Amino acid sequence: MDQSQKWTARKIRQSFLDFFEARKHDIVPSAPIVLKGDPTLMFTNAGMNQFKDYFLGNDTPKNTRVTDTQKCLRVSGKHNDLEEVGHDTYHHTMFEMLGNWSFGDYFKTEAIEWAWTLLTEVYGLDKDRLYVTVFEGDKEDELEKDQDSFNNWKKFTAEDRILNGNKKDNFWEMGASGPCGPSSEIHIDLRNDDERAKVDARTLVNMDHPQVVEIWNLVFIEFNRKADGSLEKLPAKHVDTGMGFERLCMALQGKQSNYDTDVFTPLISKIENLSGIKYGKDEQQTIAIRVIADHVRAVAFAIADGQLPSNTGAGYVIRRILRRAIRYGFSYLNMKEAFIYQLVEILAEQMGEFFPEIQSQKQLVEKVIHEEENSFLRTLEQGLSRLDQIIAETDGKMVEGAKVFELYDTFGFPPDLTGLILSEQGYSYNQKGYDTEMTSQKERARSAGKLDTGDWVTLKDDEKEEFIGYDYTSAQVSITRYRKVVAKKKELYQLVFSLTPFYPEGGGQVGDKGLLSNDQEIIEIIDTKKEHGVIIHITEKLPENLEAKFQAEVNTDLRTDASYNHSATHLLHQALREVLGTHVEQKGSLVAPNHLRFDFSHFSKVTDEEIQQIEDLVNNRVQKNFSLEEFRNIPINKAQEMGAMMLFGEKYGDTVRAIKFGESIELCGGIHVSATGEIGLFKITHEGAVAAGIRRIEALTGATARKYVNEHIGTLNTIKQELKNVKDPIAGINNLKDENSKLKKQIEELIREKAKGEKDVWVNNAVQKDGYTLIIQKTALDGGAVKDLLFQIKNENENIAAVIGVDMGDKAQIAVAFSDELAKEKGWHAGNMVKELAKEIKGGGGGQPFFATAGGKDPAGIDKALEKAKTLL
Ligand code: ATP
Ligand code: MG
């Protein structure tokens, strides 16, 4: 049997999970690809991200052993494989990372034994093709070789297959500081026998050989790196492993490229169909097909998890990935029309079973990708025409690097594409100039977003900061730890308390503000956030006496206002689904004290009538004064049974909090009113598009909504007074409009008459020259009228040469017109002449041989220009 039939991708994934489940691991779902609640990362880039809180000791897991497959994206920050993708055959932007974890449970012995058993016995990989690495130690960190791992591997494989690895490859760190430890990698040699006989695989491990690749990395977390760079031993040791699923599929299906596995072949055949180009024939085209097959996965999953392409942050990264795919299609597959969106269907069929979000969000994902494709293809066209212009402006064959950068910066035109188009026309560009611009842009971006974070200073140990904010807005607290952060040159402090009533920013709702005080001092808490499961209170200064007890008091005015908006958001969500349909999914939400914003999937404009219906539904439920029913800490399946709405791209724990007002039930951690009547009034102030398939509603509640309504009524009253037509202001405005258009017509009529008079003057004042009639005049008519008159005169007379200076007070214009025959006969060129004359009015212009105009800033020069015209003609 063909290996790829025996080991389908689906079966490979399932066998992994089953193997560890049998060893007492809980199977947990993949976290969303787009991270929330972790300001240090944009996207999930490794299986361990979602478990960071456990490694940091901020939270304790329910089971100390878990296993999963995690959607990872490596396109920014520490892990960025984007430039490799498509060019090589084993790095992807999005890939699945299979993993097993021990949180203070088993360590190296079990991890190594299980990895070996799974690979060689369950999957049946050839032991002869496997090589492993262990950490060789490091002088600077005063670390010895990882002898434990070495000894464990020795039980299963020959010593000469256990290779030493350096700190770069075999010491894993979460970031500049934090948990870290030695790692041990498993590599596989997939070369054919000939090649294996020629070159020893051991010399190819970690050498970027496409068939001698790392498949699994076992990380043994046993240290914590402090901000000063030193290491300390962790009290509990953890295992964190990550195996590249697509690479494992390649190995098990007997392929030499990830793209030849059933993870990619359906996508690739669809691209072949759409483009009419065969995979594997031409090198460049093959790369392009790989790029597209890879990138559509990353983009589709990011959108399904709630990250839309945009101009900033994570959205911009997604946009750039998609644009890279579009551009490869455009340049190498000759795809000048949108097509990538058509791959989503295939992806949904293939991955939908394991990742239902891609199935249920399919329509939105297609829409968004389609729209992005169209708009980028338009941009590409504009870029191409700017490039033509740049080529025309270039003396010689070398284009300035800065211009290539400009194309990149404004049109997203990458330099390799520009280079390619240039080379087709025999041009090249100055790489150095480009690099300089690029470096300075990166520098600007870096200094803008720089954040310096100090070490945590622990004051009290072993206290889990409890959140009591649903029941209290004030509490006596002590500070358990703090650290200093410097952001944009501003020093701030982050404090963690023994317990806290402060709500941290989350679920769209902004963080609480308030005061931290005692007899000695009062310190303002300017914001509250959550990081790695800990609630952090942000202040501008540190208390004098850190050991003292404090009263932590939430600003309840702000919080109450925010609660109106949060509860109103739930009612709005419910009403939207009733009025527009259940395809409406929340795509973004902001709940602030003074307003709310809600983004949702919907494919057309919400009409005024629909807005009215939605607003009415919400206000009815406000009036009904539904009491808050709060279900705290209920099991997630119970909440689902109750019909609670869950969001894609949101990670929920095993127990959740559900919020119910009447028929509206949502999983939510936010702050709410105790009965909907408190909201007072709900008023939608704006409806618009944020992206393809995504609409946004902004609204107000309570006193802010009343103020808004009153201001509008106030404006209306003023309008009525101004119109002196108190009863019917609309009729009043219509009268004004009618009157206005009548007056406009009259003015046009007057201008026409004036122009006609002027024409007669011009013709009468004309001078007869040798075979032609010369008109030189100054006028105050506008440029359009002058043009009309000149064409009339040309039509009515033969052999006309005219130069008209237009004085517009602060600006000047010159028009030159010749009868076509005359221009030819005399070899005159109106465009060239007007350029010459325009110098006198400090301006420029040009045009055709028989008619041209120029504008300038200096009307005082008109007379001189007309004098000059006389000498020229
Ligand atoms: P490599 O050196 O090949 O880039 P890595 O050292 O970056 O790998 P890890 O960070 O240890 O890899 O990730 C664990 C596993 O995930 C790797 O062993 C590999 O199988 C897989 N992997 C890593 N990066 C990618 C990627 N861009 N695409 C597909 N699989 C990957
Ligand atoms: Mg890597």
Asked whether the predicted pLDDT for residue 466 surpasses 70, the reply is: yes
What would the two tokens of residue 364 be?
């939105």
Helix (H, G, I), strand (E, B) or coil at 838: helix
The CA 214 to ligand 2 mean position distance, Å, reads 9
**pLDDT number for residue 705:** 97
- Quick one: average pLDDT of 542-550? 93
Q: How far apart are CA 746 and CA 744, in angstroms?
A: 5
- 768 - beta bridge partners? 773
Helix (H, G, I), strand (E, B) or coil at 751: helix
| Helices of type H across 394-465 | 401-411, 415-424, 431-448
At residue 410, φ and ψ (nearest 5 deg) are -95, -30
- pLDDT digits 0-9 by tens, 600-623: 999 889 999 999 999 999 999 999
The CA 95 to ligand 1 mean position distance, Å, reads 9
- pLDDT digits 0-9 by tens, 116-142: 999 999 999 999 999 999 999 999 999
Residues 6+ apart with CB under 8 A from 742: none
Asked whether the predicted pLDDT for residue 278 surpasses 70, the reply is: yes
Q: Which of 42, 80, 688, 587 is nearest to 304 (CA)?
A: 587
- The answer to whether 307 and 35 have CB atoms below 8 angstroms apart is no
The CA 84 to ligand 2 mean position distance, Å, reads 10
The CA 214 to ligand 1 mean position distance, Å, reads 7
3-state helix, strand, coil in the chain (%, to 5): 45, 25, 30
- The answer to whether 418 and 424 have CB atoms below 8 angstroms apart is no
Q: How far apart are CA 873 and CA 871, in angstroms?
A: 6
Please indicate whether residue 758, judged by its CB atom, sits closer than 6 Å to ligand 1.
Answer: no
The residue whose CB lies within 8 Å of the most ligand 1 atoms, and thus the one to mutate among 41, 76, 88, 214, is 214
The CA 9 to ligand 1 mean position distance, Å, reads 18
Q: How far apart are CA 216 and CA 208, in angstroms?
A: 15
In angstroms, how far is CA 249 from the centroid of its own chain?
30
Residues 6+ apart with CB under 8 A from 565: 591, 592, 593, 595, 596, 699, 701
Confidence of residue 582 (pLDDT cuts 50, 70, 90): confident
Burial class (CB in 10 A: 0-12, 13-18, 19+), 127: middle
Q: Which ligand is nearest to the CA of 215?
A: 1
The CA 186 to ligand 1 mean position distance, Å, reads 11
- pLDDT digits 0-9 by tens, 837-848: 999 999 888 888
Q: How far apart are CA 645 and CA 632, in angstroms?
A: 16
**pLDDT number for residue 412:** 74
- pLDDT digits 0-9 by tens, 630-654: 999 899 889 989 988 877 677 777 7
The CA 81 to ligand 2 mean position distance, Å, reads 7
**pLDDT number for residue 746:** 95
Q: Which of 385, 438, 474, 357 is nearest to 29 (CA)?
A: 357
The CA 197 to ligand 1 mean position distance, Å, reads 27
- The answer to whether 806 and 781 have CB atoms below 8 angstroms apart is yes
One-letter amino acid of 494: Q
- Quick one: average pLDDT of 269-277? 97
Look-up: residue for tokens 């301006």? Answer: 843
Please indicate whether residue 525, judged by its CB atom, sits closer than 6 Å to ligand 1.
Answer: no
Q: Which ligand is nearest to the CA of 240?
A: 1
Asked whether the predicted pLDDT for residue 479 surpasses 90, the reply is: yes
Q: Which ligand is nearest to the CA of 85?
A: 1
Least confident among 237-246, 274-283, 805-814: 805-814
**pLDDT number for residue 355:** 95
- Quick one: average pLDDT of 518-530? 95
Tell which atom from ligand 1 comes closest to the C-alpha of 81: 27
- The answer to whether 558 and 591 have CB atoms below 8 angstroms apart is no
The residue whose CB lies within 8 Å of the most ligand 1 atoms, and thus the one to mutate among 84, 91, 167, 301, is 91
Highest mean pLDDT among 219-228, 264-273, 823-832: 264-273
In angstroms, how far is CA 844 from the centroid of its own chain?
43
Q: In what order do the strands lie in the sheet with 586-591?
A: 586-591, 596-601, 694-701, 682-691
State the average pLDDT for the chain. Answer: 92
Please indicate whether residue 244, judged by its CB atom, sits closer than 6 Å to ligand 1.
Answer: yes
Tell which atom from ligand 1 comes closest to the C-alpha of 216: 18
**pLDDT number for residue 494:** 95
Confidence of residue 784 (pLDDT cuts 50, 70, 90): confident
**pLDDT number for residue 393:** 87
Q: Which of 106, 99, 171 is nearest to 135 (CA)?
A: 171
Q: Which of 42, 11, 13 is nearest to 30 (CA)?
A: 13
The CA 242 to ligand 1 mean position distance, Å, reads 8
**Residue ID of nearest Cα to ligand 1 atom 22:** 244
At residue 99, φ and ψ (nearest 5 deg) are -150, 155
Please indicate whether residue 294, judged by its CB atom, sits closer than 6 Å to ligand 1.
Answer: no
The CA 510 to ligand 1 mean position distance, Å, reads 37
**Residue ID of nearest Cα to ligand 1 atom 3:** 214
Helix (H, G, I), strand (E, B) or coil at 800: strand
* Residue 159: CB atoms within 10 Å: 8
Q: How far apart are CA 319 and CA 407, in angstroms?
A: 17
- pLDDT digits 0-9 by tens, 221-231: 999 898 888 99
Please indicate whether residue 171, judged by its CB atom, sits closer than 6 Å to ligand 1.
Answer: no
Q: Which of 246, 415, 439, 438 is nearest to 324 (CA)?
A: 415
Q: Which ligand is nearest to the CA of 165?
A: 1
Please indicate whether residue 86, judged by its CB atom, sits closer than 6 Å to ligand 1.
Answer: no
Angle at 460 between CA 457 and CA 465, to 5 degrees: 95
**pLDDT number for residue 449:** 59
Q: Which ligand is nearest to the CA of 214?
A: 1
Please indicate whether residue 71, judged by its CB atom, sits closer than 6 Å to ligand 1.
Answer: no
What would the two tokens of residue 848 be?
């055709």
Helix (H, G, I), strand (E, B) or coil at 687: strand
DSSP letter string, 240-280 = EEEEEHHHHHHHHTT-SSGGGSTTTHHHHHHHHHHHT--TT
Confidence of residue 464 (pLDDT cuts 50, 70, 90): confident
Between the CA atoms of 440, 443, 445 and 447, what dihedral angle is there, to the nearest 10 degrees?
-140
Q: How far apart are CA 598 and CA 609, in angstroms?
A: 19
Please indicate whether residue 47, judged by its CB atom, sits closer than 6 Å to ligand 1.
Answer: no
Residues 6+ apart with CB under 8 A from 833: 803, 816, 852, 869, 872
Kindly state the percentage of the chain with pLDDT values over 70: 98
In angstroms, how far is CA 728 from the centroid of its own chain?
48
Burial class (CB in 10 A: 0-12, 13-18, 19+), 53: middle
Please indicate whether residue 295, judged by its CB atom, sits closer than 6 Å to ligand 1.
Answer: no
Task: Please give the residue that has the higher pLDDT: either 700 or 651.
Answer: 700
One-letter amino acid of 578: E
Please indicate whether residue 214, judged by its CB atom, sits closer than 6 Å to ligand 1.
Answer: yes
Task: Please give the residue that has the higher pLDDT: either 379 or 36.
Answer: 379
Please indicate whether residue 217, judged by its CB atom, sits closer than 6 Å to ligand 1.
Answer: yes
**pLDDT number for residue 462:** 63
**pLDDT number for residue 451:** 64
- pLDDT digits 0-9 by tens, 164-214: 999 999 999 887 788 899 999 999 999 999 999 999 999 999 999 999 999
CA dihedral (113, 114, 118, 121) positive or negative:
positive
**pLDDT number for residue 448:** 63
Helix (H, G, I), strand (E, B) or coil at 840: helix
Task: Please give the residue that has the higher pLDDT: either 574 or 331.
Answer: 574
**pLDDT number for residue 823:** 86
The CA 91 to ligand 2 mean position distance, Å, reads 8
**pLDDT number for residue 533:** 82
The CA 209 to ligand 2 mean position distance, Å, reads 13
The CA 78 to ligand 2 mean position distance, Å, reads 9
Asked whether the predicted pLDDT for residue 108 surpasses 60, the reply is: yes
Kindly state the percentage of the chain with pLDDT values over 90: 70
Q: Which of 669, 645, 647 is nearest to 656 (CA)?
A: 669
- The answer to whether 568 and 593 have CB atoms below 8 angstroms apart is no
Rounded alpha-carbon distances, angstroms, from residue 602 to 367, 693, 694, 768, 770 = 10, 5, 6, 71, 73
Asked whether the predicted pLDDT for residue 3 surpasses 70, the reply is: no
Q: Which ligand is nearest to the CA of 89?
A: 1
Residues 6+ apart with CB under 8 A from 52: 38, 174, 532
**pLDDT number for residue 544:** 92
Look-up: residue for tokens 């709630």? Answer: 306
The residue whose CB lies within 8 Å of the most ligand 1 atoms, and thus the one to mutate among 69, 95, 209, 258, is 95
Please indicate whether residue 216, judged by its CB atom, sits closer than 6 Å to ligand 1.
Answer: yes
- pLDDT digits 0-9 by tens, 164-177: 999 999 999 887 78
Q: Which ligand is nearest to the CA of 213?
A: 1
DSSP letter string, 498-533 = SEE-PPPSBTTBPPP-EEEE-SS-EEEEEEEEEETT
The number of helices, as runs of H, and strands, as runs of E, in the chain is 26, 36
**pLDDT number for residue 241:** 98
Tell which atom from ligand 1 comes closest to the C-alpha of 215: 20
**pLDDT number for residue 463:** 67
**pLDDT number for residue 454:** 81
Asked whether the predicted pLDDT for residue 523 surpasses 90, the reply is: yes
Q: Which helix (H) or strand (E) holds 223?
A: strand 212-225
The CA 816 to ligand 1 mean position distance, Å, reads 69
Please indicate whether residue 242, judged by its CB atom, sits closer than 6 Å to ligand 1.
Answer: yes
**pLDDT number for residue 420:** 78
Q: Which ligand is nearest to the CA of 75?
A: 1
Burial class (CB in 10 A: 0-12, 13-18, 19+), 139: exposed
The CA 291 to ligand 1 mean position distance, Å, reads 18
Please indicate whether residue 209, judged by its CB atom, sits closer than 6 Å to ligand 1.
Answer: no
Please indicate whether residue 99, judged by its CB atom, sits closer than 6 Å to ligand 1.
Answer: no
Tell which atom from ligand 1 comes closest to the C-alpha of 213: 3
- In the chain, the N- to C-terminal Cα span, in Å, equals 92
Q: How far apart are CA 102 and CA 239, in angstroms?
A: 5
Please indicate whether residue 247, judged by its CB atom, sits closer than 6 Å to ligand 1.
Answer: yes
- pLDDT digits 0-9 by tens, 742-777: 999 999 899 888 888 888 899 899 999 888 999 999
What would the two tokens of residue 483 be?
């650290």
The residue whose CB lies within 8 Å of the most ligand 1 atoms, and thus the one to mutate among 219, 247, 297, is 247
In angstroms, how far is CA 659 from the centroid of its own chain?
30
At residue 38, φ and ψ (nearest 5 deg) are -135, 95
Tell which atom from ligand 1 comes closest to the C-alpha of 247: 20
**pLDDT number for residue 281:** 96
- Quick one: average pLDDT of 778-807? 90
Between the CA atoms of 335, 337, 342 and 344, what dihedral angle is there, to the nearest 10 degrees?
80
The CA 703 to ligand 1 mean position distance, Å, reads 54
In angstroms, how far is CA 550 from the centroid of its own chain?
41
